[in-house]
Amino acid sequence: MRIVVVGASGNSGTAILRRLGREAGAELVGVARRVPDEDAGEPYDKVRWHSCDVGAPGAVERLTEVFAGAGAVVHLAWQIQPSHDQRMLHRTNVAGSRAVFEAVVRAGVPSLVYASSVGAYAPGPKDRPVSERWPATGVPGSSYSRDKAEVEALLDRLEREHPGLRVVRLRPGLIFQAAAATQLTRYFLGPLVPVRLLRHGRLPLVPTHRRLRMQAVHADDVADAYARSVFSDVRGAVNLAADPVLTPELVARHFHGWTVPVAAPVLRAAAALSWRARLQPVDAGWLELALNAPLMSSERAERELGWHPTVDSVSALKELFTGMAYRRHTGSPPMSGGSGLAGRPLGVLRGRLAGQTNPY
């Protein structure tokens, strides 16, 4: 089967290429705005690459050509930064997704697997998991969540107008792997957080709030769910999360830190002020998402895909933190360890401020 992965050079894409590369008879095609160099190494070297900015004019025509003859398209392309340019993010995330979906229809691709997220859900409970029936209308105040919900609405319309197209929406929690550590540091922490202190396996202080309860899953387990979705007849939304639920108390215990209760208004103010001052790259909407996104049940994935996470969430977090401490990265442009990129100290000296300069 010819499988086209759009956004194949990022965190999830790298893991998916590793997983699909083990499938006999799978012909892998990767789409990215900046394709990996020839010497990028595994898993990028076993893929036929095409350069395309999904949000640019002419993207539909270009993607239709690339999608011709594909048995499935996996759509992962999503832009997190620069957070200070919401128009650019919407252009890539929503308009770009619309272009991908139109090209899938034009090319007659039978299956589309889309990278949705827990972030698509409306605010929900933190004391029990919800199924895929929970409304995917987003969390107010989070631009990431708003864009995810808008793309979900596009998919609703796509399914109504093209019932013969099999659409799968995978909704994972936080996705961790060591290889993405430098990328995630640049995108979410910025240049001022001393991540090298994580080499000692310690987080001295962990802010706590009763609604800071989140779920995570290892990238390799997410990739396995994508592979199972491509080769199955499953349709619709599927949640993906590993146990246990990550709470501040649990994180503090595993990383030998102290918990510090902090009221939500204080957390919001700290996030907003530090973002506006370009001290860190993510706006307060990410805090709103953390406080309000519901816990998810993965029962459907287990029942209909036969999917079971092989890495628990604490182990995945430990792997990520180790990767951050030792600056793990890969050879693809978004996963690069380049010292002059936005979100790195040298990048700041070159005027590439956190949350303001395009890091892709």
pLDDT in tens, 291-348: 999 999 999 999 999 999 999 999 999 999 999 999 999 999 999 987 667 666 666 6
Coil, strand or helix: which one is 115? strand
User: pTM of this prediction?
Assistant: 0.95
Coil, strand or helix: which one is 299? helix
pLDDT in tens, 164-186: 999 999 999 999 999 999 999 99
Torsion over CA: 319, 30, 146, 299 (sign): negative
Q: How far is CA 22 from CA 18, 25, 28, 232, in A?
A: 7, 9, 11, 17
pLDDT in tens, 79-134: 999 999 999 999 999 999 999 999 999 999 999 999 999 999 999 999 999 999 99
Average pLDDT, the chain: 95
Average pLDDT rounded to a whole number, residues 49-75:
98
DSSP-derived secondary structure letter, 203 = -
Q: Assess contact for 33 and 234: CB atoms under 8 A.
A: no
User: Dihedral (C-alpha) 289, 329, 170, 132: value to the nearest 10 degrees?
Assistant: -30
Termini Cα distance of the chain = 30
Q: How many CB atoms lie within 10 A of CB 348?
A: 18
pLDDT given at position 338? 78
pLDDT at residue 360 is higher than 60: no
Residues contacting 89, CB < 8 A, separation 6+: 79, 80, 82, 83, 143, 147
Percent of the chain with pLDDT over 90: 91
User: Dihedral (C-alpha) 82, 83, 84, 90: value to the nearest 10 degrees?
Assistant: 90
* Alpha carbon distance 147, 138 (integer Å): 8
Structural domains in the chain, sorted by start: 2-174+216-241 (3.40.50.720), 176-215+245-294+311-349 (no CATH)
pLDDT given at position 355? 73
